[in-house]
Amino acid sequence: MNNTKKTSIISKDGVSYLIPFILITSCFALWGFANDITNPMVKAFSKIFRMSVTDGALVQVAFYGGYFAMAFPAAMFIRKFSYKAGVLLGLGMYAFGAFLFFPAMLSGSYYPFLIAYFILTCGLSFLETSSNPYILSMGTEETATRRLNLAQSFNPMGSLLGMYVAMNFIQNRLNPMDTMERSQLSATDFEAVRDSDLGVLIAPYLIIGIVILVMLILIRMVKMPKNADQSHDINFFPTLKRIFSISYYREGVIAQFFYVGAQIMCWTFVIQYGTRLFMSQGMGEKAAEVLSQQYNIVAMIIFCASRFICTFILRYLSPGLLLKVLAIAACGFTIGVIFIQDIGGIYCLVGVSACMSLMFPTIYGIALQGLGDDAKFGAAGLIMAILGGSVLPPLQASIIDMQTLFGMPAVNVSFVLPFICFVVIIIYGHRSYVRERRW
């Protein structure tokens, strides 16, 4: 009985999609790497270019702005051609953006890096818009959410690697001078330190660019299924009108916007949160940053383990109910992050990751239920919702730059924004659960 269920997750009408599933699932790890090597770069760029946290957060604006800008062009492309073509184009743009880090380094300026990030994430937008519904199509609709959760379980593995690389091959190798010391350097000395640090920063991006090219060639050579690729008519506006008239899809886009915003805020500003906490205990800035990143890695390990656990639990609980329960728990942990000003606060911030593990793929799966071939455009709307990762972190950064607020550290107060996001997800989970009970 159990073996039948396991097989049915990645098969349909007697056809197994094991090899395509493995290859496309590998792409989930590849964009997880890009996402989580980028989060610590807000702090790194702020230090390298002697900028405020708000200016450093422009990295996230460029990164997640690329998702927003390219989502519907990606949907039209895969509707016209195929999921496989979308994956290949996404990998190509990903690699190109990574290679652009080299000329950005030569420029010695911040803004060429933002352009490189934007192009890289235009590729990720193609990749995610193609891969998520492709995974959904590799089996029956009844097992779609479980299948997507399984594939998404490998995303945090790439994220863990991205965090590890960011900590050990970028942050630990940057010049140990803190922000204050850098601000006191002469122009010539500052440029020398900056150029050295930029050389350290770009190396992992150039390496991942080569890895992406190898993956592109591999997928190009392997025969992939063409299921759910029958319709090539774009019908852009009628399709949009049709899918946005579906309440659970429309609400899913909103929920996804707030979820991604919450995720990026929690994972980006754990560095600022932990650095303030540990420096208040007498630790130096460099050591405090490294220790904060270690907590971030622990959070990702918990996130990864929790996603596998939640995928198993989905066999017994409905997606809407589990989403609602975890969002309530996330609110509880976030309250701890705001009001606890000792080590317990960062423990709560790590705990939030356990709650977030289920959210993205589950919102995705619920929102795309029953859309059929319209899932290509539906996926684009959900990928555009990743804009939340571009809009909300700068708002949080502007709060953090205030230093103190209401007599509390501003970095603690800033986590009221993720709290609001999780409230929105509670509402979506509850409405989804009510609808599931009716079905």
**Per-residue pLDDT tens for 342-375?**
899 999 999 999 999 889 888 988 888 877 767 7
Nearest residue to 20 via CA among 114, 137, 118: 137
Is the confidence at residue 2, as pLDDT, over 50?
A: no
pLDDT recorded at residue 5: 44
| Stretch 267-295: mean pLDDT | 83
Q: Which of 153-162, 213-222, 277-286 has the highest mean pLDDT?
A: 213-222
Angle at CA 352, nearest 5°, toward 348 and 358? Answer: 160
d(CA 381, CA 376): 9
* Mean pLDDT of the 194-198 span: 89
Q: What percent of the chain has pLDDT over 90?
A: 29
The whole-number pLDDT of residue 89 equals 95
Between CA 325 and CA 328 the distance in angstroms is: 5
In this chain, the answer to whether the domains covering 9-229 and 234-438 adopt an identical fold is yes
- Closest by CA to 97, choosing from 195, 24, 155, 31, is 31
The Cα–Cα gap between 98 and 116 comes to 7
CATH topology (fold) of 234-438 = Growth Hormone; Chain: A; (1.20.1250)
Pairwise CA distance, residues 188 & 184, whole Å? 12
Residue 212 pLDDT greater than 90, yes or no: yes
Position 3 pLDDT exceeds 60? no
What per-residue confidence (pLDDT) applies to 103? 95
The CATH number of domain 9-229 is 3.40.630.30: no
Do 49 and 194 meet the contact criterion of CB atoms below 8 Å apart?
yes
**352 with 337: CB under 8 angstroms?**
yes
Q: Which two tokens stand for residue 367?
A: 């929102």
What global pTM score does this model have?
A: 0.75
Q: How many CB atoms lie within 10 A of CB 203?
A: 16
Least confident of 157-166, 181-190, 408-417: 181-190
**Of 71, 61, 44, 159, nearest in space to 114 by CA:** 61
Where do the structural domains in the chain lie, given as residue ranges? 9-229, 234-438
Please provide the DSSP assignment of 105-143 as one string: HHHT-SHHHHHHHHHHHHHHHHHHHHHHHHHHHSS-GGG
The mean pLDDT value of the chain amounts to: 84
Quick one: pLDDT at residue 232? Answer: 57
Pairing of strands 404-405, 408-409: antiparallel
Averaged pLDDT for residues 274-288: 83
pLDDT over 70 (residue 173): yes
The residues, any chain, with a CB within 8 Å of residue 429's CB and separated by 6 or more, are 320, 321, 322, 323, 324, 325, 326, 327
pLDDT band at residue 261 using 50, 70 and 90 as cut-offs: very high
CA distances from 51 to 193, 266, 356 (A): 15, 21, 30
Q: Specify the pLDDT at position 13.
A: 63
The most confident of the ranges 126-135, 137-146, 254-263, 405-414 is 254-263
Largest CA distance in the chain: 71
Model confidence over 77-133: pLDDT tens digits? 887 888 889 999 999 999 999 999 999 999 988 999 999 999 999 999 899 888 888
**What average pLDDT score do residues 46-68 get?**
81
**pLDDT at residue 236, as a whole number:** 66
The confidence score (pLDDT) of residue 256 equals: 94
